Amino acid sequence: MKFIQSVIFVMVLANILPAAQPGVYGNNGVVVAHTQQACDAGIEILQAGGNAVDAAVAVSYALAVSHPQAGNIGGGGFMLIQMADGQSVAIDFREMAPGNATRDMFLDDSGKVVPGKSVKGGLAVGVPGTVAGLQLALDKYGSLSRQKVMKPAIRIAQRGFEIPYHLAYSFGWLNQSAAGFDETRRIFCRNGELYMPGDLFKQPDLAKTLKLIQKHGNVGFYSGEVAEALVKSNLKYGGKISLKDLENYKPVIRKPVTGNYRGFEILSMPPPSSGGIALISMLNMLEPMRFDSIGWHSAQHIQLLAEVEKRAYADRSVWLADPDYFDIPQEKLLSKAYAYYRMADYDSLTITPSDSIYPLNDKDLAKIQVLGHESEETTHFSVVDRWGNAVSMTTTLNWSFGSYVTVEGFGFLLNNEMDDFSSKPGEPNSFGLIGNDANAIEPGKRMLSSMTPTIVMKDGKVLVVLGAPGGSTIITTVLQVISNLVDFGMPLQDAVNAPRFHHQWQPDMIQFGPRAISKDTANLLQQMGYQLSERSAYGEVNAISRDRVFGGWVGAPDYRITSHGKAY
């Protein structure tokens, strides 16, 4: 083993101080989320005496109104909760494959994946989980009524909000891409008479749906008129969701995966997310390395992380899936011993080509053809309250505006999460991610996710709450923020704002955002044999950390996308 091992290099995380300009500071609570309306909703609930879970439910519904690209009631997600009394849980409200889904539903007669079939239209839609997940969270860990926590979202939908520039831009893009999806174009694109930034955007149909949920809870969504309209709209675009699928949907309370990185406890999302296991496995691979002589984003730093990421994503491709359908070697993947073994062939001076990194020695996967890459969507928010309860939640329709199917008369979009299954084991999905039998489509199964809501703890107390959108890049984004904090002693806002890079094993290339890799460093990496690909900014990390100076909380909205924070 050629890499330098060390005794554990302990950075003092007292370095988590606000940057020159921390996003927000609050003694009693902080919400950091994509839209101002969502932050306002969360703070309104905290101020009304609600806890972090109550506020998170309010934020999530407010995002369904104010961030239609990803906020949703027609999608799913994961909520990681750390209560001040020590309880920690992961609520899984991931979508499920409909009861009549089949393994080959996205293949043509010759067995080839039909491009776009798992991404656009009715077949792309998984049975939505958000409404049931939020209800479960509220029932078990909240303190206020559904009537109360849903009020802000209903108000925003009824009264409307001023469309920000980037949302008007997205609606324009949707108008071009969603030809044939008439209800979607009617609601979000005014049938082609596009909204301008600053226009008021009211959503009476969505307000009506939210009121039905407010009044009847799960029944108001999973049966009755909303469910019937959902099934009808899905069927109109070729989908397979039945009323029975909706009635049968169940969120699940799971045990978070846990790890330890240089003395900090890491709490993250278990399967069906790959995020928590891949994150902890990468941190385990990094832990024996010394960072005191490595420059941040130097060739040595980027090479180390890229090699770690390749190994974790190779394992992801074979060993992670819905745990109710596949026996995951979780203990092994999370162990420090396995991480040590995984890095045994690591050489700090050379590249290990992805084709020679096998998922736990599965050599069948050496050659894989890779499809193109599209932009990602999903949204993450973080909440803490005055008692020290924390929520880290990531929720999604999968791609921006999901399947483009809007439920007629009820104003909400349906996800295209079926693309997160392996349409054909061994071939990549639209994120370029490879999956295998473990993640093949089966009725009632949850598709593998990369969403990584995470909480970093010290001595049993919440220290940092974080997560990100960005499809396959989510896990490496969370990894880099944690490493920026722990290994490079950055203040939270700097750690969040810092440019990032990403390797996911296949395709065998380092993707990097603006200013993430200097020209000199790029030359060094290319001389070593790395392929580099510059891309747009990605990964809106919305994080919170305990403030060591004043004892409250610092919220760090990601500067690169328009995200927001609010405190009280």
Q: Give the count of beta carbons closer than 10 Å to the beta carbon of residue 5.
A: 11
Q: What angle (nearest 5°) sits at the alpha carbon of residue 237, between those of residues 233 and 238?
A: 115
| Residue closer to ligand GLY, measured from CB, 287 or 420 | 420
Indicate the pairing of strand 553-556 with strand 252-254.
unpaired
| Residue closer to ligand GLY, measured from CB, 416 or 521 | 416
Among residues 63, 61, 36, 32, the alpha carbon closest in space to that of 162 is found at 36
| Cα 49 to Cα 63, 132, 502, distances in angstroms | 21, 23, 41
Q: How many residues does the chain have?
A: 568
| Residue closer to ligand GLY, measured from CB, 264 or 326 | 326
Among residues 426, 425, 420, 440, the alpha carbon closest in space to that of 365 is found at 426
Minimum Å gap between C-beta 122 and ligand GLY is 18
Beta bridge partners of 33: 564
Minimum Å gap between C-beta 51 and ligand GLY is 27
Minimum Å gap between C-beta 419 and ligand GLY is 8
| Residue closer to ligand GLY, measured from CB, 124 or 343 | 124
Residues of the shown chain interacting with ligand GLY in the complex, contacts defined by CB under 6 A: 378, 396, 398, 417, 420, 449-451, 471
Minimum Å gap between C-beta 446 and ligand GLY is 10
Minimum Å gap between C-beta 321 and ligand GLY is 13
DSSP 8-state class, residue 392: E
Minimum Å gap between C-beta 76 and ligand GLY is 8
Radius of gyration of the chain (CA): 22
> Minimal CB distance to ligand GLY: which residue?
449
Minimum Å gap between C-beta 106 and ligand GLY is 16
Q: How many helices (H) and strands (E) does the chain have?
A: 18, 19
What is the phi/psi pair of residue 304, to 5°? -60, -50
Among residues 62, 60, 69, the alpha carbon closest in space to that of 130 is found at 60
Instruction: Please enumerate in sequence order all residues whose Cβ is within 8 A of that of 410, keeping only pairs 6 or more positions apart, or say none.
Output: 205, 206, 208, 209, 226, 229, 230
Instruction: Please enumerate in sequence order all residues whose Cβ is within 8 A of that of 111, keeping only pairs 6 or more positions apart, or say none.
Output: 104, 424
| Residue closer to ligand GLY, measured from CB, 389 or 394 | 394
Torsion, Cα of 135, 140, 141, 143 (10° steps): 80
| Residue closer to ligand GLY, measured from CB, 382 or 473 | 473
- Specify whether 378 is catalytic: yes
- Rounded CA-CA distance 68/119 in Å is 17
| Residue closer to ligand GLY, measured from CB, 106 or 346 | 106
Catalytic-labelled residue, pool 378, 379, 452, 473: 378
Residues serving a catalytic function are 378
